[in-house]
Amino acid sequence: MKQSRKGAPGALLTNANVLDYLPPQMNAAPDPRVEIADLRIAGGRIIERGRGLAPHEGEEVRDLGGRTVMPGLINAHHHLYSTLAPGMPPPANTPRSFQDVLTEIWWKLDRALDPEAIRISAVSGAWDSLRCGTTLIFDHHSSLTSVGGSLDLVEQGLREAGVRGCLCYEVTDRGGPGSRDTCLEETRRYLQKTAAPGDGVPAHSVPWFKGLVGAHAGFTLEDGTLDSLAALCTEFDTGVHMHLAEGSTDREICKDRGWPDPLERLDRHGLIRPRSLLAHGVDLTPLDLQTIEEKGAWLVHNGRSNMNNGVGRAPVDRFPPRSCLGTDGLDGNMFGELRTTFYRGNETGRGPLGFHGAERFWIGGYQLAREIFGEPFGSLDAGAPADFLIGCEDQKQPLHQGNWLSLLLFGMQPRLIQEVWVDGAPRYRRGDPAPYDGQACRAAAQRIWDRMANL
Ligand SMILES: [Zn+2]
């Protein structure tokens, strides 16, 4: 395992039952397919796909005996900083609204984080995700008393786990102008760092990390800050990753402040644009959804988080074509997220979302990754990143062209994953020890919980 983490010369996986969703051409329409194939892997990519491929000298050859291989999962909206939250003492004042949930829980947690807690939250949360088959996380980070360098700590944690990341810092005005400027500076620093391959990284390799401009939500951002965010998007030719209309709070605060409605306000400031990633989108009008579609921005559905926070039901059946799924910090289980999205669509009568909707949201994650990374994620053909999971030998039902979505919705569980590969090497094999010290992790959790009690 240790040796392969550093990168083996190459591998040939034979007799894989391969599911993939998109052709390798970057702008191709989804075309899910299942077929038995051999995959040759080198330099972090799949370099050949076919039947009966002959081994090359020095190549590690493994016969998968028909086991399932599918692209690593994409989590389009996560908060690794919240990894240590489960089990924390309840807040002194019981939250009665979504705003209370923010002020009593999350805005205390993100102030309690220290650098070591940020790193260990990232590595332990990324490890959870990896074991559930996720190989790329779009993370939305906040640590208001440890802002400078915090994205490097998140990156370090992801590297230790072996998971790719698209990172950003949640810029906000809730700490005052000085704090906001520190958030903007961290954003700029990380965008500069990830704009080009690092020293010694071959130009043709698949990037492990990308950056986005990050922001909390419109209702904690002043107009001038929105302008600064838009300027960063333009300067780095990218989009903003932020919360939008997570329940009615966004709209209510806009009304109180005399601002336009949330989506309109962001649009006026130039933030609804290609590569922008808007999480939740619960309280949006049909016109808002049309604007998001026309401007080419992405909407991320976080069904389980919406249910947990009681913010309402997102109009998922009207979400634009650029839509995908994220866990919003709840856990790393994207199969669970997909399943909940589908169940929720059926809850009040089968219909509005259906199989097609679930497929669209699932494949959307790969299309988002393509847009941000410029790499053919979602394909397991020659040229694609070698990011995939291998199923167990004891998988109960056969996987074929006609049932892949049904198996994902009703059959796939993290416990059916045997291995997860990222960048052409296994980063997780069932039974591997965790890449962090559990005792140190629990100590970090207790430390931040204790701190939270005094905030
Ligand atoms: Zn979120």
Measured in angstroms, how far is the CA atom of residue 73 from the centroid of ligand 1?
18
pLDDT tens for each residue of 244-255? 999 899 999 999
Measured in angstroms, how far is the CA atom of residue 354 from the centroid of ligand 1?
25
Q: Are 437 and 162 in contact (CB under 8 A)?
A: no
Q: Which two tokens stand for residue 341?
A: 């999205």
* CATH 2.30.40.10 holds for 2-72+375-429: yes
Measured in angstroms, how far is the CA atom of residue 140 from the centroid of ligand 1?
7
pLDDT at 9: 67
Cα separation, 248 vs 241, whole angstroms: 19
Q: Are 48 and 24 in contact (CB under 8 A)?
A: no
Cα separation, 238 vs 194, whole angstroms: 12
Q: How does the average pLDDT of the chain come out, rounded?
A: 93
Q: Are 61 and 55 in contact (CB under 8 A)?
A: yes
Q: Which two tokens stand for residue 153?
A: 């700590």
pLDDT at 399 over 90: yes
Facing residues of 42 across strands?
A: 45
Measured in angstroms, how far is the CA atom of residue 90 from the centroid of ligand 1?
20
Alpha carbon separation from 221 to 38, 42, 217 (Å, rounded): 51, 45, 7
Q: Among 297-301, 353-357, 451-455, which stretch is predicted with the lowest mean pLDDT?
A: 353-357
Q: Are 401 and 235 in contact (CB under 8 A)?
A: no
Rounded to an integer, the average pLDDT of 176-195 is 96
Measured in angstroms, how far is the CA atom of residue 316 from the centroid of ligand 1?
17
pLDDT at 420: 98
pLDDT at 204 over 90: no
Q: For residue 93, name the pLDDT band (cuts at 50, 70, 90).
A: confident
Cα separation, 58 vs 80, whole angstroms: 38
Q: Which two tokens stand for residue 324?
A: 């995908």
pLDDT at 1 over 80: no
Measured in angstroms, how far is the CA atom of residue 330 from the centroid of ligand 1?
9
Torsions phi, psi of 139, nearest 5? Answer: -100, 145
Cα separation, 55 vs 58, whole angstroms: 8
pLDDT tens for each residue of 272-300? 999 999 999 999 999 999 999 999 999 99
pLDDT tens for each residue of 123-168? 999 999 999 999 999 999 999 999 999 999 999 999 999 999 999 9
pLDDT tens for each residue of 41-64? 999 999 999 999 999 999 999 999
Interacting residues of 235 by C-beta distance below 8 A, sequence separation 6+: none
Cα separation, 343 vs 35, whole angstroms: 28
Interacting residues of 438 by C-beta distance below 8 A, sequence separation 6+: none
pLDDT tens for each residue of 305-343? 999 988 998 998 899 999 999 999 999 999 999 999 898
Measured in angstroms, how far is the CA atom of residue 252 from the centroid of ligand 1?
19
Measured in angstroms, how far is the CA atom of residue 449 from the centroid of ligand 1?
20
pLDDT tens for each residue of 102-125? 888 888 999 999 999 999 999 999
DSSP 8-state class, residue 271: -
Per-domain residue ranges of the chain: 2-72+375-429, 73-372
Q: Which fold has domain 73-372?
A: TIM Barrel (3.20.20)
Measured in angstroms, how far is the CA atom of residue 235 from the centroid of ligand 1?
25
Proportion of the chain above pLDDT 70, given as a percent:
97
pLDDT tens for each residue of 419-447? 999 999 999 999 999 999 999 999 999 99
Q: For residue 6, name the pLDDT band (cuts at 50, 70, 90).
A: very low
Measured in angstroms, how far is the CA atom of residue 26 from the centroid of ligand 1?
28
Residue reference for tokens 């497929």: 359
Report the side by side order of strands in the sheet with 298-301.
213-217, 240-244, 277-280, 298-301, 323-325
Measured in angstroms, how far is the CA atom of residue 213 from the centroid of ligand 1?
15
Residue 241, SS3 per DSSP: strand
Measured in angstroms, how far is the CA atom of residue 383 from the centroid of ligand 1?
33
Measured in angstroms, how far is the CA atom of residue 299 from the centroid of ligand 1?
12
Cα separation, 381 vs 300, whole angstroms: 27
Side chain identity, residue 127: W
Measured in angstroms, how far is the CA atom of residue 328 from the centroid of ligand 1?
4
Measured in angstroms, how far is the CA atom of residue 123 from the centroid of ligand 1?
19
Rounded to an integer, the average pLDDT of 33-45 is 97
pLDDT at 107: 87
In our burial notation (b when 16+ CB lie closer than 10 A, e otherwise), range 66-93 reads ebbbbbbbbbbbbbbbbbbbeebeeeee
* Number of CB atoms found within 10 A of residue 438's CB: 10
Q: Are 250 and 218 in contact (CB under 8 A)?
A: yes
Measured in angstroms, how far is the CA atom of residue 179 from the centroid of ligand 1?
20
Q: Which two tokens stand for residue 344?
A: 């929720």
Measured in angstroms, how far is the CA atom of residue 77 from the centroid of ligand 1?
6
> Between β-strands 425-429 and 417-422, what pairing exists: parallel, antiparallel or unpaired?
antiparallel
* Number of CB atoms found within 10 A of residue 400's CB: 12
Measured in angstroms, how far is the CA atom of residue 157 from the centroid of ligand 1?
19
Measured in angstroms, how far is the CA atom of residue 444 from the centroid of ligand 1?
22
Q: Spell out the SS3 assignment of 100-127.
A: HHHHHHHHHHHHHCCHHHHHHHHHHHHH
Cα separation, 10 vs 38, whole angstroms: 13
Q: Are 436 and 124 in contact (CB under 8 A)?
A: yes
Alpha carbon separation from 281 to 100, 327, 334 (Å, rounded): 19, 14, 19
Measured in angstroms, how far is the CA atom of residue 212 from the centroid of ligand 1?
15
